[in-house]
Amino acid sequence: MSSSIYKTLFLCLILPATFSVSAADKKKEEEVVKVPLYQGLQIGFDLVSPAGYLISDSYGASIKADINLWNKYFPTVELGYADFNKTSEDGINCTSSGQYVKVGINKALSYGGNKAENLFFAGIHYGFSTFSYNLDNLVYYPNYWGANSDINSLQDQKATTGWIELVAGVRVLVFGPISLGWTAQYKSTLHVSNGENSIPAYIPGYGENFKPKLGMAFHLYYKLPF
């Protein structure tokens, strides 16, 4: 067979494949273009913290917002306040209060609905808090001299803390613009600046100061109409 026949045969085999690859690319491109960038803004309210003193030593309140981008990425920011009051078995009393902020991003692992109204997600957040605390009825570690310091309380200790959270959760549409969401948190402090005479026992937004730790959050969401 002459070389020209081979060339013709080759072109006949290659051209359909080229057209089909282009068609696949175009369909994929169309699918990506179909989901707009901005898919909505949800405001969330913490349902557990305000009732905290009924079940723990702390209470607080927080509000969060997350933006739906492409039904895929959900940048989120949360502002909150927390209060803590605990007395140890030895009688040491710690009271603490302060504000915190968390920023991060969640990624949809799977979703349902045109605008991801039902969502299963995972994410990473950074939290930061500045706060003050008081320590009363101080108990001292025993020593050779059997003597203790005369200082019985430490007032107005100030500290700042940053921590990281790995989260996973679900958000479920209840009715209309209302959703409920549960989030599991795995947290660890990154940096803690101690008080003048103390290590903070409690960090607003994080919890009692040990690492790592697990947490749980429960939010009511409202989807804004724009």
Partner 1 sequence: MDVKVYCSFYSQTLKKAVQIDSVTVWGVGSDSLIYSNETVSELALELNPKVQETKYVVQAIASGYLFKDTLTLKYTNQPWFQSMECGCMVFSTLESIVPTGTIFQSATILNPKIINQKTKHVVLNI
Q: Which is nearer to partner 1, 94 or 167 (CB)?
A: 94
Tokens of 98: 């302060």
Q: Which is nearer to partner 1, 2 or 143 (CB)?
A: 143
| C-beta separation of 102 from 88 below 8 A | no
Choosing from 198, 213, 220, 222, the residue that interacts with partner 1 (CB under 8 A) is: 198
What phi and psi, each to the nearest 5 degrees, are found at residue 147? -115, 150
Place of tokens 């969330």: 44
Residue 138 touching partner 1 (CB under 8 A): yes
By CB under 8 A, the residues from 79 to 98 that bind partner 1 are: 86, 88, 90, 92, 94
Provide the minimum distance between the beta carbon of 200 and partner 1 in the complex, in angstroms, as a whole number. 9
The continuous run of DSSP H or E covering 187 comes out as strand 178-193
CA distance 59 to 54: 9
SS3 at position 20: helix
By CB under 8 A, the residues from 116 to 135 that bind partner 1 are: 135
Residues that bind partner 1 (CB under 8 A): 86, 88, 90, 92, 94, 135, 138-141, 143-145, 147-151, 154, 195, 197-199, 201, 209
